[in-house]
C-alpha cells in the first residue's frame, strides 16, 4: 500500500502515490516511552509549534501563511499507543494542479520545515509569552474533562482499573507536571524529540515517489538516531470494585470494565474483534438490540475494545435509579456470548461491518496512514482484504473462547443525587 523509502536509522518514510484525493497529506510521528514529565512538555510543545516560528513569529503571521498556501492545514497533537507517547504533526494542502500554481508543493513543505526545524526560539528558549499562554491552555483542557460527563466517567473507570499505568494517564501528563514546563525546559525537550525520537513520516497524494523524497530530504535534514525498542505492555488483572460517585446531573453514566487479555499480536485477535462487535460495536449488537431496543433502558450504549491494553469497556447513559437492572442486562449480554448464544446472522453482520469499517477508513488520507501504521509490522504488504479474510475465518467457537477470557473488574456509576 505504501512504498517504504530507506532514509536513515530510526527514521522511516512511507509514501503512497494515489490520485484518489484532491490533496497531498503528510504525517510525522515522533515516538518515545510514556513518562509524565515528557508527556506534559510535549503537550505544551504541540500547542507551541503550531503557534509561530522564527519567520512567522506571531500566531496571526503563522496562520496567514497557511492562508496564503490556499488554506493548508497544519496541526500538531499528542497521543498514546501502548506504553509509548507520540507527537504527531498532520498537514494537508490542495494539490497544486487544482490551484494552478507551480512550486506550491515546495512552498508547503517549506512551511512544514519552518514549523519543525526553525521554531520561535531565542537563546535556547521558546518565546516566553507563548509558552505561558499555551501551558495554561493545556491545563484548562485537562480541567475541561470534568464538563463532559461521559468522558469524565470513562476516565474514572480507567483510573480505577489501572491506576498509574499509561492507559489511565493523560496524554497531557498531569497539572503539576504541566506547571513545571518552562521556555527553557520546553526547548530541551524539543531538541531531544527532534534528535533522538524514532520518527515516521507518511505522505499520501498524487506525488512522484522519487521527487517527493528528494524534496522532503532537502526540507527536513534529520539525521540517524538509535532505533529505540518499544516498551511492551504487561497485562495484569486488576481489583474487582463497584464504585458510585455523585455530581449534579440528570442521567446516570454507567461504565463497566472487563479484563480482556488478548492484544494485537495474539493470533486470537481477529476473534476478539468479532466478539466485541457482537457485544456492542454496532447497531445490531447485543447491547444495542437488547438493552436499548428491547428494554428501552438507554439511548447510548456500546462497548469498546482497547486491544493495546487488554481491556474491554462498556458505557451506557441510563436512569441511575435503574442501575441494578442495567448492570444485570448488560452482564446477560456478555454471558450470552460466553455461552455461545450467538446467531449465525449476528456473525455475518458483525463481519460485514468490520469489513465495511476498514474499507471506509481507507477512503481518507489520514485513514490510510493510521491504518497502515497500525498494521505495517504484522502485514508489510497490508491490504484491507488480508484483514477481512482473517475476520471471515473466525468461527463461533473461537469467539466463545476469547469471550471466556473476559473478566469483569470494575462497575463505575457516575450519577446525580446525593450519597445515601
Partner 1 sequence: MKKITLEAVGETVYYETMPNGLTVYILPKEGYSKTYASYTTDYGSIDRTFIPIGADEKIVVPDGIAHFLEHKMFEKEEGDIFQTFSEQGASANAFTSFTRTAYLFSATREVEKNLETLLNFVQEPYFTEETVEKEKGIIAQEILMYDDDPDWRLYFGAIENMYERHPVRIDIAGTVDSIQDITAEHLYTCYETFYHPSNMMLLVVGNIDPEETMALVRDNQRARQMEPAHEVERFLEEEPCVVATKEQVIQMDVFKPKVNIAFKMPAGRKRGRDYLKQELATSLGLDLLFGTTTAFYDEAYDEGLIDESFNYSYTNEATFAFASISSDTFEPKKLYARVRQQLNDQMDTLDENDFKLLIRRKIGQFIRALNSPEFIANQFTHYAMNGVDLFEHIDVYESLTLDDVKEAVRPMVNEEAQTVMIIEPLANEGEPE
User: Tell me, what DSSP letter sits at residue 411?
Assistant: E
Q: Nearer Cβ to partner 1, position 169 or 253? A: 253
User: In angstroms, how far is CA 344 from the centroid of its own chain?
Assistant: 32
- Residues sharing a CB contact under 8 Å with residue 16, sequence separation 6 or more, in sequence order: 1, 2, 3, 202, 203, 204, 205, 368, 372
> C-beta of 317: minimal distance to partner 1 in Å?
5
Q: Nearer Cβ to partner 1, position 17 or 238? A: 17
Q: Nearer Cβ to partner 1, position 196 or 319? A: 319
> C-beta of 402: minimal distance to partner 1 in Å?
21
Helices 128-143, 36-49: crossing angle, 10 deg rounding: 120
The whole-angstrom separation of Cα 299 and Cα 123 is: 56
Q: Is the dihedral of CA 72, 74, 79, 83 positive or negative?
A: positive
3-class DSSP state of 24: strand
User: Tell me, what DSSP letter sits at residue 99?
Assistant: H
Q: Nearer Cβ to partner 1, position 306 or 355? A: 355
How big is the CA angle at 367 (ends 361 and 372), to the nearest 5 degrees?
Answer: 105
Q: Nearer Cβ to partner 1, position 218 or 385? A: 385
Residue in 207, 205, 216, 213 with CA at minimum distance from that of residue 25 = 205
> C-beta of 53: minimal distance to partner 1 in Å?
15
> C-beta of 85: minimal distance to partner 1 in Å?
20
> C-beta of 368: minimal distance to partner 1 in Å?
11
Q: Nearer Cβ to partner 1, position 81 or 359? A: 359
Output the CA–CA distances (angstroms, integers) from residue 188 to 32, 54, 160, in the order listed: 15, 17, 34
> C-beta of 89: minimal distance to partner 1 in Å?
17
241 torsion bin: left (phi>0), alpha (psi -120 to 50), beta (else): beta
> C-beta of 356: minimal distance to partner 1 in Å?
5
Q: Nearer Cβ to partner 1, position 87 or 222? A: 87
Amino acid at each position: 500500500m505504501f512504498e517504504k523509502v530507506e532514509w536513515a536509522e530510526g527514521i522511516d518514510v512511507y509514501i503512497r502515490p494515489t490520485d484518489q484525493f484532491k490533496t497531498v497529506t503528510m504525517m510525522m510521528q515522533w515516538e518515545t516511552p510514556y513518562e509524565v514529565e515528557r508527556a506534559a512538555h510535549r503537550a505544551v510543545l504541540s500547542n507551541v509549534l503550531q503557534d509561530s516560528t522564527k519567520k512567522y513569529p506571531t500566531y496571526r503571521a503563522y496562520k496567514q501563511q497557511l492562508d496564503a498556501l490556499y488554506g493548508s492545514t497544519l496541526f500538531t497533537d499528542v497521543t498514546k499507543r501502548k506504553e509509548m507517547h507520540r507527537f504527531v504533526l498532520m498537514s494537508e494542502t490542495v494539490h497544486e494542479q487544482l490551484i494552478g500554481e507551480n512550486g506550491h508543493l515546495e512552498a508547503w513543505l517549506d512551511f512544514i520545515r519552518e514549523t519543525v526545524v526553525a521554531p520561535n526560539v531565542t537563546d535556547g528558549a521558546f518565546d516566553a509569552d507563548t509558552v505561558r499562554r499555551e501551558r495554561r491552555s493545556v491545563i484548562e483542557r485537562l480541567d475541561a474533562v470534568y464538563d463532559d460527563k461521559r468522558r469524565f466517567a470513562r476516565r474514572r473507570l480507567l483510573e480505577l482499573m489501572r491506576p498509574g499505568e499509561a492507559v489511565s494517564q493523560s496524554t497531557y501528563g498531569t497539572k503539576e507536571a504541566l506547571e513545571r514546563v518552562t521556555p527553557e525546559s520546553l526547548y530541551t525537550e524539543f531538541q531531544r524529540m527532534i534528535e533522538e525520537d524514532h520518527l515516521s513520516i507518511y505522505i499520501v497524494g498524487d506525488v512522484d515517489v522519487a521527487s517527493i523524497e528528494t524534496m522532503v530530504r532537502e526540507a527536513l535534514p534529520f539525521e540517524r538516531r538509535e532505533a529505540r525498542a518499544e516498551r511492551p505492555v504487561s497485562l495484569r488483572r486488576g481489583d474487582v470494585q463497584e464504585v458510585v460517585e455523585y455530581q449534579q446531573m440528570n442521567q446516570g453514566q454507567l461504565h463497566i470494565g472487563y479484563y480482556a487479555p488478548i492484544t494485537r499480536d495474539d493470533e486470537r485477535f481477529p476473534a476478539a474483534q468479532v466478539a466485541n462487535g457482537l457485544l456492542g460495536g454496532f447497531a445490531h449488537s447485543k447491547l444495542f438490540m437488547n438493552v436499548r431496543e428491547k428494554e428501552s433502558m438507554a439511548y447510548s450504549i456500546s462497548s469498546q475494545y482497547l486491544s493495546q491494553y487488554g481491556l474491554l469497556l462498556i458505557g451506557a447513559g441510563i436512569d441511575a435509579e435503574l442501575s441494578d437492572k442495567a448492570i444485570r442486562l448488560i452482564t446477560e449480554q456478555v454471558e450470552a456470548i460466553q455461552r455461545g448464544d450467538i446467531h449465525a446472522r449476528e456473525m455475518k453482520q458483525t463481519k460485514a461491518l468490520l469489513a465495511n469499517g476498514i474499507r471506509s477508513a481507507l477512503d481518507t488520507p489520514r485513514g490510510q496512514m493510521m491504518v497502515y501504521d497500525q498494521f505495517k509490522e504484522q502485514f508489510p504488504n497490508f491490504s484491507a482484504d488480508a484483514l477481512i479474510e482473517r475476520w471471515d475465518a473466525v468461527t463461533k467457537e473461537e469467539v466463545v473462547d476469547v469471550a471466556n477470557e473476559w473478566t469483569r473488574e470494575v462497575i463505575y456509576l457516575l450519577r446525580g443525587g446525593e450519597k445515601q
